[in-house]
Chain A
Amino acid sequence: MRIFDPHIHMSSRTTDDYEAMYAAGVRALVEPSFWLGQPRTSVGSFVDYFDALTGWERFRASQFGIRHHCAVALNPKEANDARCREVLAELPRFLRRESVVAIGETGYDSMTAEEDEVLEAHLALGVEHRLPVIVHTPHRDKKYGTRRTLEVIAESGIEPGLVVLDHLNEVTIEMVKESGAWMGFSIYPDTKMDPHRMVALLQRYGTERVLVNSAADWGRSDPLLTAKTGAAMLDAGFDAADVDRVLWQNPVEFFAQSGRLDLTPLPGFALANAPETFSGNSVRRGGADATVPAVPEAAR
């Protein structure tokens, strides 16, 4: 199983996670910018964070055989703080970096006027830089917030195919599918979406334009839930090609629109298994190429 996690916050995870992810088949990921659990209060802390995502974190991932890309944005919560909003002026210089493959996560938290403005600004940057946009849908008023997000996207003039709406569920999937945007699902241990509910949605709505991510961060989350969802798909009768489509080809297709994805194996690491080598063999899942070379001291 080869896996591309299209939404995971690795800077809040440990090297044990990188090792386990590689063993499970993760070979590439996108780390969207988000808040740090504690609100930032100045532009400088964003700039350093973006530097870390495009520098240190990318290097750290590479030590474990995983291609790291990122997305930059002012996140919805901090969009409400005037001291942070100035970071919008800093985004274009980061959007030119080769490791930045998207804008995000943007979207709504509390659906304030400030969040409206910042979402519109990010979508305009997507049009201008021709980059995909990762849009977070709100937790609290999700159905209404998702509908409103789709209206803002339609007004922005961005191609729906350049946008993923993330953290969808049973109630919001249909309107996003109809809009032509990509549908993102964050698989969590017990809240947003679980592997079995995800499988049920794939059975009902198909695999086209669906992205499955772990959205793992500093909260209770599991970076292997992408792999576990793949296993649940196989158990439910999907074949290895379907799993590969959802966990690899779809995110590749979405982020390749940036023209910047680098999916060549890192020196000293192997490609993940092609799907046919384990077709019908769930026992070997993720186990065939699990050896991770020792991490050089310099990486620590």
Chain B
Amino acid sequence: MTATDGMEARYRDGDTEQRIAVLEDLNRHAYDGALADDEREAGLGLVRDALRANDPRLVSAAMGAFAGRHLGDHDWRHGVMKLVFMEVPLTTVDRLVDRRDAELSRMAADLAEEREAAGRPVPDDLRSLLPPVGAAREEGR
């Protein structure tokens, strides 16, 4: 019996709080080698499911250490941007500094352009994802 035993059933049959608990279990075991390959695959399926939810607690739990270590770049970037939309502080994102890349900055720059065109403020977290000052804005496109 492992720490994530039955996690898929617990997630699918659980309410939001129980789903968050399953995601937190995954986060706890992201680096300790306790997850077998099939558990990791199942965990990624649950993380992707949670990233489609509109409850910020679920999205936030899905962007913890497990996603930081195992989630592919495309889905991970969308997870970061989703938290920006939900106004959840990005401090919740595991390995943000290591994993942020030119494509994430490009997505952030496009969103900042939309916000500015709409006369809406650019939140600090979004600003923090923009390409470094001095870098050409076209870089990474």
By the criterion CB–CB under 8 Å, are A37 and B54 in contact?
Answer: yes
| Binary A-proximity of B49-91 (CB < 8 A = 1, otherwise 0) | 1011110000000000000000000110010011001000000
Query: What residues of chain A lie closer than 8 Å to B74, measured between beta carbons?
Result: 110-112
By the criterion CB–CB under 8 Å, are B119 and A109 in contact?
Answer: no
Q: Given the interface contacts A112-B74, A140-B78, A141-B81, does A171 sit within 8 Å of B113 by beta carbon?
A: yes
| Interface membership of A170, Cβ < 8 A | yes
| Interface membership of A56, Cβ < 8 A | no
Q: Within residues 43 to 69 of chain A, which ones have a CB less than 8 A from any CB in chain B?
A: none
By the criterion CB–CB under 8 Å, are A109 and B52 in contact?
Answer: yes
Q: Given the interface contacts A39-B52, A39-B53, does A142 sit within 8 Å of B110 by beta carbon?
A: yes
Query: What residues of chain B lie closer than 8 Å to A80, measured between beta carbons?
Result: 48, 52
> What are 19 A-B interface contacts by the 8 Å CB criterion?
A39-B49, A39-B52, A80-B52, A81-B52, A110-B52, A110-B78, A112-B75, A140-B78, A140-B82, A140-B85, A140-B107, A140-B111, A141-B78, A141-B81, A141-B110, A144-B107, A170-B114, A171-B110, A197-B119
CA distance A144 to B141 in the complex (A): 10
Q: State the A residues within 8 Å of B (CB).
A: 37-39, 41, 77-78, 80-81, 109-112, 139-144, 169-171, 193, 197
Query: What residues of chain A lie closer than 8 Å to B136, measured between beta carbons?
Result: none
CA distance A171 to B107 in the complex (A): 14
In-complex Cβ contact of B118 among A78, A109, A197 (8 A) = A197
| Interface membership of B97, Cβ < 8 A | no
| Interface membership of B117, Cβ < 8 A | yes
CA distance A139 to B78 in the complex (A): 10
By the criterion CB–CB under 8 Å, are A77 and B82 in contact?
Answer: no
Query: What residues of chain B lie closer than 8 Å to A170, measured between beta carbons?
Result: 114, 117-118
Query: What residues of chain A lie closer than 8 Å to B118, measured between beta carbons?
Result: 169-170, 193, 197
CB-CB nearest in chain B for A170 = B117
| Binary A-proximity of B99-129 (CB < 8 A = 1, otherwise 0) | 0000000010011011001110000000000
User: Chain A's nearest CB lies how many Å from the CB of B60?
Assistant: 16
